[in-house]
Amino acid sequence: MKNYIPKNDLLKNRTILVTGAGAGIGKAVAIAYAKYGAQVILLGRTADKLQAVCHQIQAAGYPAATPVVFDLNSNCYADYVAVATQIENNFYPLYGLVHNAGLLGERKSVGEYSPEVWAEVMQVNVNAQFLLTRALLPLLRKNENGSVIFTSSNVGIQGRANWGAYCVSKFATEGLAQLLADEEKQLSSLRINTINPGRVRTAMRAQAYPDEDPMSLVSPQEVVLTYLYLMDGDNSGITGQRINAQN
């Protein structure tokens, strides 16, 4: 992946929605997509953060991005359909979707874990991914070799004590991506893959490891190449894969 060189017009005239786009990896990915020509839809729950990313993209001279303020803690499917309708009516056909938003929850054992926090983490990290993907599938299928990317984690393939709902949610993310990839092989040219970013300098990482030296970690910008690679339409044969961004 480190040898991959994106074409300058890689994503020209392509609309891509990135969740959790107000900070961290989501922000870095959104800016990278805009740099390579995409019309990026920034979905998040904090308007000020989304607007700041829009301004940064505009200042760089990239195609204008659009903020969509949305709380993924909603379990009402009609809310997700409304987002899909907004995209269908106002943008180029939707080419790509990046699921990056997520909650860490508590670093506690199952026996001590708050049921309310568990439910919230599973809603944002799993149920919302299903609901948003479900609402957007008809739009994504209209493009040849479109791409859906799920952001996973090391704890999504190996259970680790005291990672609670976050750990379980990433296992579910992996399962949803594999299921969807297998189904879409029969239905469309849509590609579905997961990315494990690894140890990245983000606010969530600092929350999980408060004593860790952040400068020992890679920046979010250093993992965006994998997100560009999987959004490249020339990689049409890559689906149902789990890729480590730092390998």
221-226: Cβ within 8 A, 24+ apart: 221/28, 221/32, 222/246, 223/25, 223/28, 223/195, 223/197, 223/198, 224/25, 224/28, 224/29, 224/32, 225/1, 225/2, 225/4, 225/6, 226/1, 226/195
Q: Is 166 a catalytic residue?
A: yes
| CA–CA separation, 10 and 176 (whole Å) | 27
CB count in 10 Å sphere of residue 89: 7
Secondary structure, 3-state, 13-25:
CCEEEEECCCCHH
In sequence order, the 6+-apart residues with CB closer than 8 A to the CB of 30 are 18, 21, 40, 42, 53, 57, 65
Are 171 and 188 within 8 A, CB to CB? no
Question: Exactly one of 80, 166, 227, 229 is catalytic; which is it?
Answer: 166
- Per DSSP, helices labelled H in the chain are 24-35, 47-59, 77-90, 115-122, 128-140, 164-187, 203-208, 224-231
Active-site residues, by number, are 166
